[in-house]
C-alpha cells in the first residue's frame, strides 16, 4: 500500500519509511502536516507508538518531548516569518482526541485568515480544507519542507554550542 505509512506514522518513521519526516529529534520526529492550508503546519510525533499521553513518559523524556515541540515551533515560526509577511504567531497543541499516540500540532497563523477563523482554534476551518487536494501536501511544498528542516538543524547546532 503506497500510503501505508499513514496507518503507522510512528513505526514508519522509525523504519525510515514515513515521507513526511523532516528530522529525527531527541524524543520524536518532526513531520510536515498532510494538509497545508496554513503553510508550514507541522507535527511532532513521539518516537514510541505505545505512548498515549505525555504522562506516559518518564520526566526526562517528557521534558525532551516538550523541548522538541518548542524547537519545532520556533523553526516553523522563523520560516513563516521569512516567507510570509502576514505571519502572526504559532499555536502549539497537544490534543490526542483522534490519534491514539502522543503528538503535538504546530500551527502557523496568518493575518490573511478570515477574522472569525483567526480568533479561534484551527479546527474551526472549513472541513473541505482538510480534504481538498488544493491543500494536500505535495512536491510544491518541498521548499517549505527544506526550510523548516534546515531551521531545525540551525536550532540544534545553536543548542549544542551552548
pLDDT at 2 over 70: no
DSSP state of 84: -
pLDDT digits (tens, 9 = 90+) for 80-101: 999 999 999 999 999 876 677 8
- Average of per-residue pLDDT values in the chain: 92
pLDDT digits (tens, 9 = 90+) for 101-115: 899 999 999 999 999
Q: Is the pLDDT of residue 161 over 90?
A: no
Label residue 16 left, alpha or beta by phi (over 0 means left) and psi (-120 to 50 means alpha): left
Task: Give the model's pLDDT for residue 100.
Answer: 73
Sheet of 42-46: strands edge to edge?
Answer: 21-24, 28-32, 42-46, 103-110, 87-93
Higher pLDDT, 148 or 123: 148
Q: Which domains does the chain have, with CATH numbers?
A: 4-161 (3.30.428.10)
Amino acid at each position: 500500500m503506497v500510503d501505508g505509512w499513514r496507518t503507522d506514522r510512528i513505526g514508519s518513521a522509525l523504519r525510515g519509511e514515513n515521507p513526511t519526516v523532516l528530522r529525527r529529534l531527541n524524543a520524536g520526529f518532526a513531520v510536515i502536516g498532510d494538509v497545508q492550508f496554513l503553510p508550514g503546519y507541522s507535527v511532532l510525533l513521539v518516537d514510541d507508538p505505545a505512548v498515549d499521553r505525555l504522562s506516559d513518559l518518564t520526566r526526562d523524556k517528557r521534558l525532551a518531548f516538550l523541548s522538541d515541540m518548542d524547537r519545532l515551533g520556533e523553526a516553523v515560526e522563523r520560516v513563516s516569518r521569512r516567507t510570509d509577511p502576514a505571519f502572526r504567531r504559532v499555536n502549539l497543541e497537544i490534543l490526542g482526541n483522534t490519534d491514539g499516540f502522543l503528538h503535538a500540532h504546530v500551527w502557523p497563523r496568518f493575518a490573511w485568515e478570515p477574522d472569525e477563523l483567526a480568533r479561534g482554534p484551527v479546527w474551526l476551518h472549513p472541513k473541505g480544507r482538510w480534504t481538498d487536494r488544493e491543500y494536500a501536501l505535495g512536491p510544491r511544498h518541498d521548499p517549505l519542507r527544506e526550510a523548516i528542516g534546515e531551521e531545525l538543524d540551525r536550532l540544534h547546532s545553536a543548542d549544542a554550542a551552548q
